[in-house]
């Protein structure tokens, strides 16, 4: 343990809540379980929202928080049209310069960084590590199945997928993975216009895997995976000859703390409201922090909730409110909030299922809390996550959508009845949900060894 205390891990992540949350969980766990020094760095904009402060250096006694500048310290508009190669180049240049200064300043204060841990597509972090002669490790914050999909896409399957890109039902069989239809694949590998926003992000993923290929020429590349061995055994094995994948899934914990949150928790007493509901009766609806729900989808969701007659707790951003939503807030057995502590909600005995976009954080939290899922994937990795929930883990169902990608009200009712009803299918889904919750508790108790393995690897390489 004495040697491990000399390590100094610098975590680098982007400004998105879905990236900050799992990275901060791992940073805290690494600090507490190994005794290493840990510094956490996200963008200036996100840092100021997390702490409601302009103070650049903040410590909570366990982790030191120092922001880096990506050139957008006051934030930026998130319209897809701005995510061009020019945008990514600008962010890369500013971020690289800023993080390099942080590393230099820490060394100057007698706190040299021994390893940089960076999240997906922050490829410039590797350049910073190389410039300062320190190690870098990728923290893959999505499932191992998604990693495997990208890996095989860039290593032999790209041509096949591009040939059948317009046939959403075409089935692809990647090594070690269950068969996936084109519609299940990450949205970025399904792009046809490489000059688009999604096309520019695919280029970043390509570069990231090229970096891993370069690393494995020198030594076996290491990637930390935000998953558990028991959940994705076959996926983890599908690329382990080339890459050393270390599953370091961190179980979310119930907390009232807003540390790490970019959004202010709603003042409505939603937990007290849940206390008044029967066990397993409430439908919890959340589509994450990045997706803006279409007006038509809100309309259909309202229709389905009214028809189902089940109590509901619905999280909708303030800037995504529509007339139909305002109408439902005025009556019925439900509550609409702008932001809530999702883990506390999922852990509440009144929650019977979650209607989710299947972002990995929400999926992992639902699995860990034993909550069945109605899956409504939107983009990125969410299609594969929905496939895993329905076909591999068996603890939910994927909804069908119309030609515009909208889940109709009657389809929502069908899915809710399937998951929460008394039928044989619903009983089995709930049994599987509880089973995976129990598996998560066992897996979570074994993760300390993996973090010690990381520390030992850094010790060896340095």
| Gap between the Cα atoms of 299 and 332, Å rounded | 15
Q: Which of these is catalytic: 7, 8, 16, 19?
A: 19
| Gap between the Cα atoms of 39 and 35, Å rounded | 13
8-state DSSP, 408: P
Assess contact for 162 and 186: CB atoms under 8 A.
no
Tokens of 103: 């590393």
Element spanning 272, H or E:
helix 270-275
Residue 25 CB neighbours (<10 A): 20
Tell me how many helices (H) and strands (E) the chain has.
Answer: 17, 16
| Gap between the Cα atoms of 125 and 99, Å rounded | 8
8-state DSSP, 80: G
- Backbone dihedral angles phi then psi of residue 222, each to the nearest 5 degrees: -105, 135
Tokens of 67: 């922001």
Listed in order, strand segments (DSSP E) in 13-94 are 37-41, 58-59, 64-65
- In 52-186, alpha helices (H): 85-108, 124-131, 144-152, 158-163
Tokens of 225: 């995976």
**Strand 334-337 to 312-315 pairing:** parallel
Q: Is 262 helix (H, G, I), strand (E, B) or coil?
A: coil
Pick the closest to residue 117 from 262, 7, 235 (CA basis). Answer: 7
Q: Is 433 helix (H, G, I), strand (E, B) or coil?
A: helix
Please say if 19 is a catalytic residue: yes
Q: Which residues contact 55 (CB under 8 A, 6 or more apart)?
A: none
Q: What is the CA 307 to chain-centroid distance, rounded?
A: 32
Axis crossing angle, helix 85-108 with helix 197-218, rounded to the nearest 10: 40
**Strand 180-181 to 171-172 pairing:** antiparallel
| Residues classed as catalytic | 19
């Amino acid at each position: 343990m004495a040697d491990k205390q000399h390590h100094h891990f610098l975590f680098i992540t982007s400004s998105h809540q879905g990236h900050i949350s799992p990275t901060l969980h791992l940073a805290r766990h690494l600090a507490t379980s190994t005794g290493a020094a840990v510094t956490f760095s996200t963008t200036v904009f996100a840092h100021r929202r997390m702490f409601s402060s302009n103070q650049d250096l903040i410590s909570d006694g366990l982790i030191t928080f120092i922001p880096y500048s990506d050139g957008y310290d006051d934030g930026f508009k998130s319209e897809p049209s701005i995510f061009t190669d020019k945008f990514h180049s600008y962010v890369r240049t500013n971020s690289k310069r800023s993080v390099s200064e942080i590393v230099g300043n820490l060394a100057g204060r007698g706190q040299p960084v021994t390893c940089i841990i960076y999240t997906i597509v922050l490829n410039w972090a590797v350049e910073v590590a190389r410039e300062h002669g320190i190690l870098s490790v990728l923290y893959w914050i999505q499932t191992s199945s998604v990693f495997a999909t990208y890996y095989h896409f860039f290593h032999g399957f790209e041509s096949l997928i591009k040939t059948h890109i317009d046939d959403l039902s075409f089935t692809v069989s990647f090594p070690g993975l269950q068969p996936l239809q084109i519609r299940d694949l990450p949205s970025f590998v399904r792009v046809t216009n490489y000059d688009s926003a999604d096309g520019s992000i695919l280029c970043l993923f390509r570069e990231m895997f090229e970096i891993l290929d370069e690393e494995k020429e020198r030594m076996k590349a290491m990637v930390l995976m935000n998953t558990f061995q028991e959940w994705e055994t076959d996926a983890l094995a599908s690329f382990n000859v080339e890459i050393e994948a270390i599953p370091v899934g961190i179980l979310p914990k119930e907390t009232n703390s807003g540390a790490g949150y970019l959004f202010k928790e709603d003042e409505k007493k939603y937990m007290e409201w849940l206390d008044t509901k029967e066990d397993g009766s409430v439908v919890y609806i959340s589509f994450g922090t990045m997706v803006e729900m279409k007006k038509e989808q809100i309309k259909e969701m309202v229709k389905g909730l009214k028809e189902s007659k089940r109590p509901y707790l619905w999280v909708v951003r303030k800037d995504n409110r529509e007339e139909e939503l305002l109408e439902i807030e005025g009556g019925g057995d439900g509550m609409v909030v702008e932001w809530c502590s999702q883990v506390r909600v999922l852990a509440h005995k009144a929650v019977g299922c979650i209607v989710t976009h299947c972002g990995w954080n929400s999926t992992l939290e639902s699995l860990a809390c034993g909550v069945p899922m109605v899956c409504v994937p939107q983009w990125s990795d969410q299609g594969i996550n929905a496939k895993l929930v329905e076909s591999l883990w068996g603890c939910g169902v994927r909804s069908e959508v119309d030609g515009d990608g909208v889940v109709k009200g009657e389809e929502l009712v069908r899915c809710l009845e399937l998951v929460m009803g008394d039928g044989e299918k619903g009983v089995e889904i709930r049994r599987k949900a509880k089973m995976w919750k129990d598996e998560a508790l066992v897996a979570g108790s074994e993760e300390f060894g993996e973090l010690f393995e990381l520390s030992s690897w850094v010790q060896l390489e340095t």
